[in-house]
Amino acid sequence: MIHYGLKGVIAAETKISHVDGEKGQLIYRGYEIGEITKTNSFEETAYLLWNGEFPTDRQLIELKASLINNRELPSYMIDLICSLPDEMDMMSVLRTVISSEGRRNYGWKPTVDQAIRITSMAPAIIAYRKRHLEGKTFIPPKPELNHVENYLYMLNGEVPLKAHVNALETYMILTMEHGMNASTFSARVTASTESDLVSAITSAIGTMKGPLHGGAPSEVITLLNEVHEQGDAEMVIRNKLNRGEKLMGFGHRIYKTVDPRSAALKSKLLTFSGEDEWLDLSMKVEKLGVQILGEVKPGRSLYTNVEFYAAAIMKAVQMEKELFTPTFTASRIVGWSAHILEQAENNVIFRPQSKYIGPVKKKEELI
């Protein structure tokens, strides 16, 4: 039997995360994702994925210091960022600049310190490239700001609002890891050859770049913009459904019930009610969308997915759509590197087979 795309094939055992689409469950290292986002930071969650447990106070201080120490990009990376063609997309820039870190010859086996360095560098690469394309001076990192807060600061040059930092941090925690998806599989395949961590991460970025995987919530932004401009969410939603259009941000390929990442984001955003118009608007559109979909498509269980609230967050922090997938990638590097580290613990090279279905020709046919 052929499993096209390896769907349903179990290729590895993992202690990192568990995705249950039927139950609407996402677990990191034994912890429900909704519980993690209530009390834990980006740094604490990254430590959990890399090490299998939450950090002590001392370990957290050490991790934060290491992330801060690796924020400043080496000069050759900055030169590369400035020399790449302006028309080159951000994901390609991120892939290329991280690939240049290979000059350090990371070798085998990968380490947590290597994972920390790449995780720290990714937001700076995105921010520096954005500033370069805008013809603006680079904003150096602020050591007193946490990982997500510093990312927003380096993008815009202003210390961001607490509501924006918390919203984006929650999103980046939720997108750190999601089982054996295409990019994670790509990272593990590369690592299984005993290649270095930089190569495995670069491979994963190349996979994430594909629109069938990384994608972007830009269509949800369009929906929110329409509602904002017309001022009548119900009318916009009903008109779209009457025209046979999809309601972007609702429904998920894996989750057949509420997307736990969407639920966690919603719970966090509710604590900032009234602090940002786009976050408030997203709450209104979600409530009406679920209600109207229930009427128009009964029994379909179409709830909001994580990209719905991601769009609201990106709109609130004034992030251009070109940065959506790179930002997603900056968080997923944590999950990829956790899988690379796990692969190295008990490594077996991936070698699936293929079935030849081409012709078999005799030599005289070629004459």
> What pLDDT score does 119 carry?
98
Mean pLDDT on 8-21: 86
Say yes or no: 201 and 330 in one domain.
yes
With a cut of 90, say whether residue 149 has pLDDT above it. yes
> What pLDDT score does 31 carry?
95
Say yes or no: 210 and 277 in one domain.
no
* 233 is a domain residue: yes
pLDDT band at 218 (very low <50, low <70, confident <90, very high): low
Q: In what order do the strands lie in the sheet with 17-20?
A: 17-20, 25-28, 31-32
Say yes or no: 185 and 240 in one domain.
no
Is residue 315 classed exposed, middle or buried when 0-12, 13-18 and 19+ CB atoms within 10 A define those classes? buried
Say yes or no: 222 and 210 in one domain.
no
Say yes or no: 251 and 129 in one domain.
no
pLDDT band at 286 (very low <50, low <70, confident <90, very high): confident
CATH code of the domain in which 279 resides? 1.10.230.10
* 52 is a domain residue: yes
Say yes or no: 97 and 240 in one domain.
no
Contacts of 110 (CB under 8 A, 6+ apart): 191, 196, 197, 200, 337, 340, 341, 344
* 306 is a domain residue: yes
With a cut of 90, say whether residue 366 has pLDDT above it. no
* Residue positions annotated with a catalytic role: 252, 307
Rounded CA Rg of the chain = 22
The secondary element (H helix, E strand) that includes residue 168 is helix 162-174
Q: Which residue is listed with tokens 């430590």? A: 47
pLDDT band at 7 (very low <50, low <70, confident <90, very high): confident
Task: Decide if 138 contacts 131 (C-beta within 8 A).
Answer: yes
Give the residue, 124 or 288, on which the prediction is more confident.
124
- Look up residue 174 and give its two tokens: 């939720």
Q: Domain span at residue 282?
A: 218-316
* 357 is a domain residue: no
The secondary element (H helix, E strand) that includes residue 253 is none
Q: Checking DSSP bridges between strand 25-28 and strand 17-20, what pairing results, if any?
A: antiparallel
Instruction: Render pLDDT for 115-127 as a digit per residue (tens, 0 to 9).
Output: 999 999 999 999 9
Say yes or no: 166 and 65 in one domain.
yes
| Number of domains forming the structure of the chain | 2
Q: Is the peptide bond before 109 cis (omega within 30 degrees of 0)?
A: yes
With a cut of 80, say whether residue 273 has pLDDT above it. no
Say yes or no: 150 and 297 in one domain.
no
> What pLDDT score does 41 carry?
97
CATH code of the domain in which 30 resides? 1.10.580.10
Mean pLDDT on 121-142: 96
> What pLDDT score does 367 carry?
56
With a cut of 60, say whether residue 140 has pLDDT above it. yes
Say yes or no: 258 and 173 in one domain.
no
Give the residue, 132 or 362, on which the prediction is more confident.
132
Nearest by Cα to 156 from 121, 130, 122, 125: 130
* 359 is a domain residue: no
Mean pLDDT on 68-82: 96
Say yes or no: 177 and 236 in one domain.
no
> What pLDDT score does 316 carry?
80
With a cut of 70, say whether residue 299 has pLDDT above it. no
Instruction: Render pLDDT for 92-105 as a digit per residue (tens, 0 to 9).
Output: 999 999 999 998 88
* 362 is a domain residue: no
* 51 is a domain residue: yes
pLDDT band at 214 (very low <50, low <70, confident <90, very high): low
* 68 is a domain residue: yes
Say yes or no: 201 and 291 in one domain.
no
Say yes or no: 223 and 338 in one domain.
no
Query: What whole-number distance in Å separates Cα of residue 49 and Cα of residue 335?
Result: 7
